[in-house]
Amino acid sequence: MGVRFKGWGTALPDRIVTNDELSKTLDTTNEWIIERTGIKERRIGGSALTLGTLAGQRALEDAGYGLDDIDFLVLATTTPDRITPATAPMIANAMGLHCPAMDLNAACSGFMYAVRTAYGLLETGQKRILVIGAEHLSRWVDWNDRTMAVLLADGAGATVLEYDPDGTDLLSFSLGADGSAADLLTCEHDGFFQMDGKEVFRRAVRVVVSSAEAAMAEAGVTADQIALVIPHQANLRIIQAATQRLGIDMERAVIVLDRYGNTSSASIPLAFFDARENGRVKAGEYALMTGFGAGMTWASAIVQWS
Ligand code: COA
């Protein structure tokens, strides 16, 4: 079955929070944050609804589609505006869409889980799916906790996936989940994000490598053929360790975490958009998209751009 990425859009809050600004209220420094994470600044503000709506509108415009062209909206978010209703119907309403709409929570793997879900929907006869990743992580950050405050941020990204009987951009997937690791990264109702950073780091590298290798094997693509890696943006050192183990030159990885921090479900479309803006997305070339997050969950896909 063929599926094409038809258009992309992003949305970021205007407010930039630098490491220096955080170090005024937290026991941390710009140097520590850059050295241990790669993050220099992040965007804070908006909500899953407002950011997701803007990213969705921009993706639709980029694809050249009207409101009636979309059959289904899948929103990946860890931070919906409310527990219920889901945020997706509210985004659909704000955009003027008239289609089924639902939220999906797979934490920082959310965007890739949503792409996989959209692929399945296209297999059953839908023609075009709007996939959005939108996060308002800052709402559930304890701004006195330096571990989480330096990492998490807000943003959104979206794409339109379209059924195509004649060819495909998406060659393979490898997804997984391990609930025995659930306590490593949590946010309770009315609570804040909490994390065992070291253990999440170790496991993140492992699952990115194993799922990327499985997706490459299924697609019949080798590491040296991967021209672009579009990874979840949690920590520069995780991306360095994973690409090194995969035997992929770090130069091929797209990095936006220096400017946007960890935006969970939004990070992969934000990274894709940056790569496209910089002329790094080339027809015929292979890319690895890979995410991991709380759950733990992970998801890799091999893409060949049309
Ligand atoms: N500023 C300054 N010092 C900090 C700090 C901060 N923001 N956060 C932790 N430290 C301190 C620790 O208290 C520790 O001090 P100690 O040696 O006196 O005990 C020291 O820095 C090293 O801490 P450690 O936890 O070993 O640092 P690290 O190199 O593992 O980096 C993370 C911490 C959180 C950046 C890193 O573990 C990480 O990125 N983990 C994965 C996170 C992730 O990907 N989460 C999202 C998944 S989607």
Q: Identify the residue whose tokens are 């391990």.
A: 178
Structure tokens at 178: 């391990």
Instruction: Give CA–CA dist 265/285, Å, rounded.
Output: 24
What is the average pLDDT across 156-161? 98
List, as one string, the DSSP characters of 203-266. HHHHHHHHHHHHHHHHHT--GGGEEEEEE--S-HHHHHHHHHHHT--GGGB---HHHH-B-GGG
pTM of model > 0.85: yes
Give the residue extent of every domain in the chain: 2-164, 170-304
For 115-153, write each residue's pLDDT tens digit: 999 999 999 999 999 999 999 999 999 999 999 999 999
For 6-26, write each residue's pLDDT tens digit: 999 999 999 999 999 999 999
Structure tokens at 244: 């090194």
- CA 211 from centroid of its chain's CA atoms: 16
| pLDDT on residue 121 | 96
| pLDDT on residue 136 | 98
The one catalytic residue among 19, 136, 232, 235: 232
* Confidence class for position 279, pLDDT limits 50, 70, 90: very high
Q: How far is the CA of 204 from the centre of ligand 1 (A)?
A: 15
| Nearest to 300, CA basis, from 235, 241, 219 | 219
187 in active site: no
Q: How far is the CA of 250 from the centre of ligand 1 (A)?
A: 22
Residue having the nearest C-alpha atom to atom 29 of ligand 1: 36
- Please say whether the beta carbons of 258 and 267 come within 8 A: no
Ligand 1 in contact with 280 (CB < 6 A)? no
User: How far, CA to CA in Å, does 41 sit from each of 34, 106, 223?
Assistant: 9, 25, 31
For 66-123, write each residue's pLDDT tens digit: 999 999 999 999 999 999 999 999 999 999 999 999 999 999 999 999 999 999 999 9
Could you tell me which CATH number the domain at 2-164 has?
3.40.47.10
User: Taking 90 as the threshold, does the pLDDT of residue 1 lie above it?
Assistant: no
Could you tell me which CATH number the domain at 170-304 has?
3.40.47.10
Query: Which H/E stretch holds residue 198?
Result: helix 197-219
Ligand 1 in contact with 32 (CB < 6 A)? yes
170-304 shares the fold of 2-164: yes
- Given ligand 1 and candidates 20, 33, 36, which is best to mutate, with the most ligand atoms within 8 Å of its CB? 36
